[in-house]
Structure 1
Amino acid sequence: MVQLKRTNNQDPDFRYLIPLLDQDLRSRYNDLQDTYDQHNVIVNVDTVIIAYAENKPVGCGCFKQFDDTSVEMKRMYVKPDFRRKGISSSILNELEKWATESGFQKAVLETGNRQEEAIALYEKRGYKIIPNYPPYESIESSICMQKDL
């Protein structure tokens, strides 16, 4: 059974999971990750979800305001031993619910072309590929997506 907690980027469990996410991304993208790292800084974000299994933090995600009507989903991650159990879908669902409760109508996100499982999750959840938005418009490995909430 997975429990979800709404929190912020100061949460120690979020701060524990983010370096694991960064490590995972670096293993996929090597030096290209340097380009992405500058866009992955999360400061003063009060919309973080942490997933717990067996009372341990196993996944996270957050969103930040993108424009007047949209949020950008960021920092989605589930530890390898807990993947393929629906946890990422639960996190994304809770983020979308929270964004809707906050009055937003759309969600956008950026993922990379070497994250097939993430792309599959987002497509399954109704996200459609859109032209890359700034600052990703010139990064060939970026895939941007959008969904009406």
Structure 2
Amino acid sequence: MFAIKTTSAHDRHFQLLVAELDAFQSVLYPAESNHCLDLTTVAEDGLHCVIVTGDANQPVGCGAVLMQQDGSAELKRIYVRSAWRGKQLGEAIVQRLEKIAIAQGCDQARLETGNQQLAAIRLYENLGYRQCEAFPPYQPDPLSVFMMKPL
């Protein structure tokens, strides 16, 4: 059983999960292809974070959605600890973030992920995301996969 709740980018459990994600990605990609925005530097009125808790209220996953000036939303920092993968948590996180984006008036969700994260790419495709060109603030990167979905 798991629960998803909203949290702050400053929440220590959220930060711990993001640090695990950063460590995971640093093994897969060189520093110049790790597009890791420090969410604690983003104005909180345009950022919404969620954390997933499992047994004994332990943090097992996270994600965030960043509202953009153009009416779109960017999904950020979606991560599920390996022991909890395969339990539909990634889908639940993305769907919760999409609901938040819709409630904020966004008409499109976008994301950037790495080309080595095949399970993540499949997850996003199964949820209706399609590959697209790089979008601001990103530049094209052969190690990045850019995706979008109308909301």
CA RMSD of aligned residues (A): 1.4
Distance 1:47 1:25, change over 3 A: same
Per-residue CA shift, 1:52-82, capped at 9, x if unaligned? 1111000000011223310110011000111
Contact kept, 8 Å, 1:131 with 1:137, in 2: the verdict is no
The aligned residue for residue 50 of structure 2 is 49
TM-score by length of 2: 0.90
Q: Which amino acid in structure 1 is aligned with residue 98 of structure 2?
A: E
Q: Structure 2: which 5+ residue stretches go unaligned? A: none
Contact kept, 8 Å, 1:109 with 1:145, in 2: the verdict is yes
Identity between Structure 1 and Structure 2 (%): 36
Aligned length: 146
The aligned residue for residue 123 of structure 1 is 125
Q: CA separation in 1, counterparts of 2:136 and 2:97?
A: 22
**Distance apart, 1:37 and its partner CA:** 4.2
Q: CA separation in 2, counterparts of 1:131 and 1:68?
A: 16
Q: CA separation in 2, counterparts of 1:22 and 1:39?
A: 7
TM-score by length of 1: 0.92
- DSSP 3-state at the match of 2:128: coil
Q: Structure 1: which 5+ residue stretches go unaligned? A: none
Please list, as runs of the form range in 1=range in 2, the aligned pairs for 1:1-149 lying within 5 A after superposition: 1-29=1-29, 32=30, 34-37=31-34, 39-42=36-39, 43-44=41-42, 45=44, 46-54=47-55, 55-149=57-151
Per-residue CA shift, 1:80-127, capped at 9, x if unaligned? 111111011101110000111111111000001000011000000000
Q: Which runs of 4+ in 1 moved over 3 A?
A: 36-39
Distance 1:9 1:72, change over 3 A: same
